[in-house]
Structure formats: C-alpha cells, structure tokens
Chains A and B, each alone.
Chain A
Amino acid sequence: MTVAVVAREELPIRSEEDLVRVRRLARALAQRGGFDAFASAALMTAASEMARNTWQHGGGGLAAIEEVRDGRRAGVRMTFADRGPGIPDLERVLRGGYSTASSLGLGMSGTRRLVDEFAIDTRPGEGTTIVVTKWTRR
C-alpha cells in the first residue's frame, strides 16, 4: 500500500528550544491523527529522543514531520537528518545501553521499540538520517 503525505512541516534543530518545538508538532499531529494517549506519548518521546540525538550527537540538523495516510490508517512520519559524524558502531547503539556521552544509551534502542517503522542511514563522516513512523491502531 502506498503511503500518502497529507501535510509536511520542517523544523530546524539548532537549539534546545527546537527540541520543544519538535515535540509540540508531534503532539499536534498525534492529536490530529486520532492517536490514543499511549501512541501519542510514544510518538512524542520518539520525537524528543531523535531530535536530541540530532542536536547533541549530530551537531544539529533538520526534522521533517509528516502527516501520512496508508489506506484507512493515519500516521505520523518523522525524519531527522544531520551532517554530523555518523554512527560507526551502529549495531552496538541499536542493542541499547551504549552511549558515547556517558548517558544511558536508551534513546535509540528505546525509540525503535516505541514506533512501528524505524529506518536509519548513517555514514561515518557524512551524517545520519533516521526515519520513524507511527500508525494509529485500527
């Protein structure tokens, strides 16, 4: 089934305040898509974790947040792109509990569990792009 983009908004991620903006937009789209409280919290948390990584590890970048449709399903697709250092140790990062920032290292592995689709393209020295999608339950 093809995914149709109903609306798209781009937000730069250059500062801490931008993280709040990304979260707000995710909240608004979750409401518009009729997400329940659980799906909505999952989406906002994923947005927050990915935006923070873009800012903290990727040196800033761009978030594109889209309202999407797949037949009768409503969804939100979020793309986070940066031109930072990339993630050389992707496998370890996805397993979770690994951080180069002496943090918990739960952002990436946790986000993967919160969303329905998770795709990552990362190239050392070039940057990282992560696309996550969350659908409403039918």
Chain B
Amino acid sequence: MTAIPILRLGNVLLAAVHVDLDDSVAERFQEDLLGRIEKTGAHGLLIDISGLDVVDTYVARVLADTGKMARLMGARTVLVGMRPEVAATLVRMGFGVEGIETALDADEGLAILTGASAR
C-alpha cells in the first residue's frame, strides 16, 4: 500500500496526493496527517490535489472530514490545486464545499497558512 509522504515546512505540513486514492489509502492518509499534527504541533495543513483527475464523493468526504478534524485539533487546512474538471464534477453531484478552505495553488495556500500562523 502506497503511503502519501507528508513534509514539514515550519509550522505547516504539506502533502501532495498523486496516487489514485483507494479507500484504505485515503483513510490512512487522514490518520497519518492527524498523527503528524499531534506530533509536530503544526498549525497548518496544505493538501495539494492537483495530481488527482478524479475525486469521487467518498474521497471528497475524507478530505473534508480531515479538514474538520484538523480544525478540532487546532490546525487550519487549505486544499489546493483542484482541477477544473474535478471541481465541476463535485458541484454537479451536489457535493457541498462549505467548511473547506481552498486556494488555487500551493504558493497561494502557503501564503494563507503562513499568514495565519504568524498572527
């Protein structure tokens, strides 16, 4: 099973998802991220999904839930790089994106998170 690498940059954890996320990889990714927040005391989480050409409602829910869980632990999550076709598909399916913070790309997401953690 492929694990998704999580990098640390100051107060922020970074992860780029490239693999086709099957259910168990997605769940393990969520656990790994939360574990790393606890261990590092990170204040921000940046998840880059520009490598995904398909995000079904299951994966979308895991990502959204991860953001909520991180939030409860005191970390802010920004989802970046969602491809236009993925965004269009999720909206057409009626997937609500309330509560998920997003940015165009990793640079922008990082700016949001480092600005937030410097406050």
A interface list, Cβ under 8 A from B: 16-17, 19-20, 23-24, 27, 37-38, 40-42, 44-45, 48-49, 52, 96-97, 103-104, 106-107, 109-111, 113-114
| Closest A residue, CB atoms, query B57 | A106
Count of B interface residues, CB-CB < 8 Å: 21
Given contacts A41-B54, A41-B89, could you give 8 more A-B pairs where the C-beta distance is less than 8 Å? Answer: A24-B20, A27-B53, A27-B54, A37-B83, A49-B56, A104-B95, A106-B95, A110-B57
Bound CA span A27–B83, Å: 16
A106 → B minimal CB distance (Å): 5
Question: How far is B86's CA from A46's CA once the two chains are assembled, in angstroms?
Answer: 12
By a CB distance below 8 angstroms, the chain B residues around A23 are 20, 54
5 closest A-B pairs by beta carbon, nearest first, are A110-B93, A41-B85, A48-B56, A44-B54, A37-B85
Q: Once the chains are docked, how many angstroms separate the CA of A114 from the CA of B53?
A: 15
How would residues 12 to 37 of chain B score, 1 for a CB under 8 Å from any chain A CB and 0 otherwise?
Answer: 00000000101110000000000000
Interchain pairs with CB closer than 8 A, number:
73
Q: Mark B44-64, 1 if CB is under 8 A from A, else 0.
A: 000000000111111001000
Shortest distance between the CB of A117 and any CB in chain B (Å): 16
B92 to A, closest residue via Cβ: A113
Instruction: Give me the interface of B with A, judged by CB distance under 8 Å.
Output: 20, 22-24, 53-58, 61, 83-86, 88-89, 92-95
In the bound assembly, the distance between CA atoms of A103 and B58 in angstroms comes to 9
Chain A nearest CB: distance from B71 CB in Å?
A: 19
Would you call B94 and A45 a contact (CB within 8 A)? no
Bound CA–CA A19/B23 (angstroms): 9
Chain A residues closer than 8 Å to B23, beta-carbon distance: 16, 19
Q: Give Cα distance in the complex from A42 to B83, angstroms.
A: 13
B22 touches A19 (CB 8 A): yes
Contact in complex: A106, B93 (CB < 8 Å): yes
Chain B residues with CB below 8 A from A113, complex form? 92-94
Tell whether, in the assembled complex, residue A48 and residue B58 are in contact, meaning their CB atoms are under 8 Å apart.
yes
Q: Which partner residue on chain A sits nearest B61 by CB separation?
A: A104
What are 28 A-B residue pairs whose CB atoms fall within 8 Å in the complex?
A: A16-B22, A16-B23, A20-B20, A23-B20, A23-B54, A27-B54, A37-B84, A38-B84, A38-B89, A41-B89, A44-B54, A52-B58, A96-B94, A97-B94, A104-B57, A104-B61, A104-B95, A106-B57, A106-B93, A106-B94, A106-B95, A107-B57, A109-B94, A110-B92, A110-B93, A113-B93, A114-B89, A114-B93
